[in-house]
Amino acid sequence: MLEKEFERAGIPAVLVTALLPIARTIRANRITQGIGITSPLGDPRTSRAEEKALRRRIVLEALDALAREPADNKETKGRIGG
């Protein structure tokens, strides 16, 4: 719900979450797929280096969503997690 208040105040906000259906239910404008509930921006089953590379990709996707109008903001693909 926070992202909606940020957007209402004119600050673009991207929600990074594992569970897109919740983001859609609450009608968030900008959404990026995170990995898992228990680890939205990491994958504990991979090495620390791989994990950070994965995190970097998600963050870049999220920043990209901030720099675009939501109409062309595609949902991004999730990976197995948590």
Partner 1 sequence: MLRIIHYVNQFFGQIGGEDKAGVPPMVIDGPVGPGLLIDRILKDRGRVVATVLCGDNYFSEEMEAASQALLDMIGARPCDLFIAGPAFNAGRYGIACGEMTRRVQDELGLPAVTGMFPENPGVDLYRKGIYIIETGNTAVGMPKAMPKMIDLGIRLFGREPIGGPEAEGYLPRGIKQNVLASKSAAERAVDLLLKKMKGVPFRTEILLPDLDVVSPAPAVADLKGATIALVTEGGLVPRENPDNIESARASRWAKYRVADLAAHGAEEFQSVHRGFDTVFVNEDPNRLLPVDVMEDLEREGVFKSLFPDFLVTTGVATTMDNARRIGREMARELALANVSGVLLTST
Partner 2 sequence: MKFEMEYFDVREIRFSEKTRFSDGLLSIDKNELIRQLSSDDRIAVIDIELVRPGENARITNVLDIIEPRIKTGVESYFPGMLRWPGPSGEGVTRVLRGATVFEIGAAQGFIGGLVDMDGNGAPLTPYSKTHNVCLLTAPGAGTSLVEYGLALKQAGCKASVYLAAATKGVTPDEAQIFDLDLGKQETSLPRVGYLFQLHSHGDSREPFVYGDNSRHYYPTILHPNEILDGAIVCGHYNLSVAIKNYTYSLLNHPVVAGLYKRHGKELCFGGVVITPEPTSMTDIKRTSMMAANLLKNVLHVDGVILTKEGGGHTDVDLMQNCDECEKLGIRTVLVDNEWLGPDGAGEMPLLAGSDNADAMVSVGNIDAVVDLLPMGRIVGGRAMHDFPGPLDGQLRMPLRFLATAISQIGSNHLTTEGR
For position 80 contacting partner 2 by CB under 8 A, the verdict is yes
Query: Reduced to 3 states, what is the DSSP secondary structure of residue 7?
Result: helix
Binding residues among 57-76 for partner 2 as defined by CB under 8 A: none
Residue 47 backbone phi and psi in degrees, to 5: -70, 160
Query: Reduced to 3 states, what is the DSSP secondary structure of residue 39?
Result: strand
Amino acid at 72: D
Q: Which residues bind partner 2 (CB under 8 A)?
A: 18-22, 25-26, 33, 35-39, 78-82
Q: Which residues bind partner 1 (CB under 8 A)?
A: 1-18, 25-27, 29-30, 34, 37-42, 44, 48, 51-52, 55-56, 58-60, 62-63, 66-70, 82
